[in-house]
Structure formats: C-alpha cells, structure tokens
Amino acid sequence: MKLDSRIPEGPLEKKWQNHKANIRLVNPANKRNIDVIIIGTGLAGSSAAASLAEMGYNVKAFCFQDSPRRAHSIAAQGGINAAKNYQNDGDSVYRLFYDTIKGGDYRSREANVYRLAEVSANIIDQAVAQGVPFAREYGGTLDNRSFGGVQVSRTFYAKGQTGQQLLLGAYSALSRQISKGKVKLYNRHEMLDVVTVDGKARGIIAKNLVTGKVERFGAHAVVIASGGYGNVFYLSTNAMGSNGSAAWKAHKKGAAFSNPCFTQIHPTCIPVSGSHQSKLTLMSESLRNDGRIWVPKDLKDAEAIREGKLKATDLPEEKRDYYLERRYPSFGNLVPRDVASRAAKERCDEGFGVNKTGEAVYLDFAAAIERYGKTEANIQGIDNPTKEQVKELGTKVVEAKYGNLFAMYEKIVDDNPYQTPMMIYPAVHYTMGGLWVDYNLMTNVPGLFALGEANFSDHGANRLGASALMQGLADGYFVIPYTIGDYLSEEIRTGAIDTNHEAFATAEAEVNETIDKLLTKTTKKHSVDHYHRALGKIMWDKCGMARNAQGLQEAIKDIRALRAEFWESVNVPGSKNEMNPELDKAMRVADFMELGELMCQDALTREESCGGHFREEFQTEEGEALRRDEEFAFVSSWQYTGNPSEAELIKEDLIFENVELKTRSYK
C-alpha cells in the first residue's frame, strides 16, 4: 500500500493559500444534510466541533468525561506559541516554522509545519475575540514570554493556566453551538469502534458510560481528536481517563499509525513517591530558567542522602555535580526536554539519584534566590545586606514568579522548596506519534480524520514547549473547517447514514462480545490496574528514555505474555448494564496492551536516535543522540495485519527543500 500525503504543489509559503483557493466546497444548503462525528472535546475536538457547526454541518460531539470542559488540554500550563512578533524581536512565520522543524529533530513534514506557523497568529486573535483573558501589559496589550529551544518571545500565556483558558474558550464556542442545536453533545460516552462501509468511515459504536448501553451513531465523516496515548506507560502526566482507544480502534479498521515510538519524556516532574502513585504531576518547564539541576559528585554522598543521613543543603558547592552545566556549557539547564531527561536518567542509573528510590535529581533555587536578593537589595538601597536579608528579598522575587508552582509542589511532596531544593525526575508527557494523516488531516480511511495530539503530523520526534496548544487549535479552528469540505463535497448525494446497515450490526456485536469476554471469566486473578501497572513497567524499562534492540525484543514478548494473561484472568467486577468504571478501564488497558507492542516494534525498526527516541546502539562517543538522515529520514506508518507488531511498515520519505538538516548541538 502507498500513502499519498497530498502536499499541494508550489512554493512552501503559498501552499496553504493555493490549497484553500482550489479546495472543493459544500454549499450551505447541503451542509445542513451532512453529519460529522467528533471524538474528544479538548482543544482540537471542541474547536473543530464549534467551527464545523458554525459552518452549518450537524455535529455530534463525544467525550467520556461528565463535561466537555474536563478534557486534558485543560491541564496545559505554560503557554501557546504564535508568530505575532509583538515584541519586535525578529519573529516571523518562517522562524516559528524553522524552530518547530528543528525542535522535532527533522522528522516532520515541512508543508504541515509551515501551515501551523502560518495560522498561529489567527489563533490568538480568535481566542481574544472569544474573551480568553491572556496576560497583559500595563498599556493593555498582550504580554509574551520566552520558552525552551527558541531565541524569541512568542509565547502567549494566562498565568500557569493557559490550557485551561484556551479550552474554556473553545468550550464556550462549543456551548454556543449546542444551544443552537447544531451540536448534539454526548458526554459520558466512549467510542469503542469506527464503522466503515465500502471502505469509508460511516459512523461509530459508542458506549453510554452511565447506563452501559452500546449504541450506534452514523455520520458522513468521523473526526478523531481523542488526544495522546501516554497512559500506555501507566504513570504519566496525562489524566487518568486519557486513552488511546479511539485511535487504536481506527488503526485496527485500516488507518495507518505513524511513528508510535516517538514519546516525549518531560524532564521536570514530581518523582514517584511510592506504589500507591496513580499519576505524575508536571512542574512547568519555566522553572529551568532559574533552577539549577544537580546531584552529588560522590556516590557516598548520594547514598547518605538516600538514607536520610545527609541533607542536600549540607553538601558544599564543590561536592555537587551540576551535570547539565558541565555537559552542555552553552545551553546549561535550558537544553531541550529530550536532552535534559536523558541526562537525569544517566546520573540516576549511575547511582547518583537523591530520593528513596534513587530516581530523582535536585532542582535548586538557592542561587537564584541569592542573585535576585542582591539585585533587590540594590534597588531598595540596602548597603551590605546580611545573608538573611538577601535570602528574604530573593525568596519574595522567586515567589512572585513561581509561587503557584511552589505551592503545588509543597502540597504534593510536603516539603518547602524555598528552603530545600526540589526533587524532580522525568515523566511521560506527550506522544508525537499518532494516526497518519494527509495534508487535509484525513487518514488513509476515507472520511476518517485525526486532529491534535491524536495525529502524527507536526512535531516530528520531539515537541517544543507551548506548541501542543497551538497545534490543537490550528487543526480545529483553521484547518479542518476548510479541508473536510474537500471530502464531504462528494457526500452531498449520500443521504442520511443508515445505522441498520450490517456493518454497524457487526461492529456492535464485536463490541458486545469483547465486553462479555471481559466480564465472564472462570478465574479472576487480578484487577485491571495490576495489569496496567505491569504493562507500564515493561514500557518504561524497555521502551522509555533509552531503548536497545534486545530490550525491545524482550518487551514485545513480555507484552504478549501479559496480554494473554490479562484476557485469561483479569478481574472485572459488576455487570454491563450499569455505570461500571472498571469495565471502561479494562477496555482501555486492553487496547494499550496492543498499542504498546506496536510502539516497541516501531522503536526496534528505527535504528537511529532522534528527538525523544534514543537507541543506545546509536550514540556518539560523547553519549549524544546519533541521527541517521541517510537511512531514516522517513515517517514510519504501520498498517494493521492482525497482530500489533506484525503490522506492515510503510515509509513516507521526508523531503526537506527549505531547511538544511543539521545535527542539534547544545554543547
């Protein structure tokens, strides 16, 4: 099989404009007769649902939560990038495009990324028009801040709650269309399969999570905006309900899955505290602007700290190893996420970890407090301030900058980060891989689209900070409203979709069969969480921050064995005709167990290191990632054939006409 990316002809900066000018349209009278199903109500799903409904389509929006506003986009902290150049620091569409391509370690499509940069400015205008309260300057104009991996200030923000404010903006636009009857909302509903008729997506099977009823829904197009699959690792910064099932079911119905092994491990998260842990919490990347990361220089000191015999603050400067500053003098603590994460793992693997489990490093603000304190003393005209005065003044400055994050840390860890250094460790945060889509964001199944984190298209092998919000809203507000018409213009004569078609009956029967299989077991051994934890451990140990061929091969075997055991003896309580969160969880974990296997297969096949994917066999003498552009400058797309890791690999060569491929160096 061949995948046609349908990138428009012409120069890079004209592609999107030309494409929009030539794309097929659906006239308003016909839009009224066309139904679109949207799975997920995060930034991508909500914005798409609202926009398509405004245009006149009949939209059915689905979310598994009790309200569309709960989608996990809400938890994004830092900000959203846009090439507005309000700061007059030389930003441009090209520069945002270039930073994103480079940040992705040259594993994404030029045309898609350029379009993303092009529409980014519109997103800010749209959000402001909706009443999103971004941070502002005293003159009343919008404020910006800078973020990792770039040299301009292009990040718009609303304190540490940018995702929340943007999602509530999209949610309010969605709510407006619900009130007009143009969107029908199905909350507490989970999609369990895509239905295809004659090769085209024609609807879904979904479960009402309150009554347990399995229902059929027809539409002329199905849009998957269900987010990423980071929870395959059990512990991640994703919400508890975030899952990969919608995308995985689409994959099993023929949609190619691209670059599944590209996962982002975020360097600054609160470390695991014990086996009770259910999720991990991110501490914003912005902390690395002022925090210095270190571990003890001597193994003995590290051991003493782990045993509680020595305190971090007792260790003199010369006995500390500021390993990022040592290894990467020019970028120091501000190296990109993938590099910072690997360096932390390297130190902890060598035995320098500083918490009970040995999986934590320090993020220390003492130097920043002292520096700010001295400046503040100068401002206030205090000559020869005492150490205590400096500390007090500096603490106030740090509190003004990061107060809410420090408070959150203290709530979770019960330790005061102003007094003792924070402890952090990398955690799974985002998945760059996802469903393969063409330039129109359509998968290779006609009528099936994928937006936001659920698709693979824009971030390559590593996503830059503040770019996830940008992509979700770009796809939903400004791309899909145009591109979906290209497909739907052929559907104006189709008429209403008949959910009595045998394809719906078959899909529904299969879903019911799976549910019955999960509920009726002769031996019920362990809870769903038990298996999920076991899967997470395999994935984290063997397909996590560093991977090698042997480990990945073992992982595939281990996952298969675990999956067999799961299907034989998982203990799912209750019945199917009631609200049964354990059953819902079991179905998600069942899909993760297949997806995890494909991730390992993808990681095994990609014999290079790039972005978030680090193969131990492919590194430089200094231990840095070794990209192999000659052999691996392609998108790996997998076509399901019956067994997850035996999928057929389809390669889409990445052609770079506008940027030169360079080795990323932060030394």
Which residues 347-386 are close enough to bind other proteins by CB under 8 A? none
128 belongs to the binding site for other proteins (CB under 8 A): yes
Beta carbon of residue 577, minimum distance to other proteins (angstroms, whole number): 10
477 belongs to the binding site for other proteins (CB under 8 A): yes
* Three-class DSSP category at 143: coil
In Å, the largest CA–CA distance within the chain is 84
125 belongs to the binding site for other proteins (CB under 8 A): yes
β 648-653/183-186 pair status: unpaired
536 belongs to the binding site for other proteins (CB under 8 A): no
Give CA angle at 426 (622, 611), nearest 5°: 50
* 279 within 8 A of 235, measured Cβ to Cβ: yes
3-state secondary structure 343-393: HHHHHHHCCCCCCCCCCCEEEECHHHHHHHHHHHHHHCCCCCCCHHHHHHH
Binding residues for other proteins restricted to 497-516, rule: CB under 8 A: none
92 belongs to the binding site for other proteins (CB under 8 A): no
Binding residues for other proteins restricted to 627-646, rule: CB under 8 A: none
23 belongs to the binding site for other proteins (CB under 8 A): no
Question: Closer CB to other proteins, residue 132 or residue 295?
Answer: 132
Beta carbon of residue 210, minimum distance to other proteins (angstroms, whole number): 6
139 belongs to the binding site for other proteins (CB under 8 A): yes
Binding residues for other proteins restricted to 542-571, rule: CB under 8 A: 571
Question: Closer CB to other proteins, residue 51 or residue 146?
Answer: 51
412 belongs to the binding site for other proteins (CB under 8 A): yes
Beta carbon of residue 499, minimum distance to other proteins (angstroms, whole number): 25
Residue 631 one-letter amino acid: E
Place of tokens 């989608």: 71
Residues 249, 533: Cα–Cα separation, whole Å: 22
Binding residues for other proteins restricted to 274-293, rule: CB under 8 A: 274, 276-279, 281-282
Residues 236, 243: Cα–Cα separation, whole Å: 11
587 belongs to the binding site for other proteins (CB under 8 A): no
136 belongs to the binding site for other proteins (CB under 8 A): yes
Q: Which of 402, 478, 487, 632 binds other proteins (CB under 8 A)?
A: 478
51 belongs to the binding site for other proteins (CB under 8 A): yes
Beta carbon of residue 518, minimum distance to other proteins (angstroms, whole number): 13
Nearest to 636 by CA among 259, 326, 316: 259
* 521 within 8 A of 229, measured Cβ to Cβ: no
Nearest to 462 by CA among 652, 599, 264, 653: 264
Residues 521, 169: Cα–Cα separation, whole Å: 46
Cα dihedral sign, 208-213-214-218: negative
Residue 466 one-letter amino acid: A
How far does Cα 201 stand from its chain's mean position?
Answer: 25
Instruction: Pick the piece of the chain touching other proteins (CB under 8 A) from 294-302, 527-535, 592-600, 618-626.
Output: 527-535
Nearest to 436 by CA among 454, 410, 412, 409: 454
Beta carbon of residue 585, minimum distance to other proteins (angstroms, whole number): 10
231 belongs to the binding site for other proteins (CB under 8 A): no
Beta carbon of residue 486, minimum distance to other proteins (angstroms, whole number): 17
Residues 322, 378: Cα–Cα separation, whole Å: 28
414 belongs to the binding site for other proteins (CB under 8 A): yes
Q: Which of 133, 199, 403, 623 binds other proteins (CB under 8 A)?
A: 133
Binding residues for other proteins restricted to 61-80, rule: CB under 8 A: 65-72, 74-75
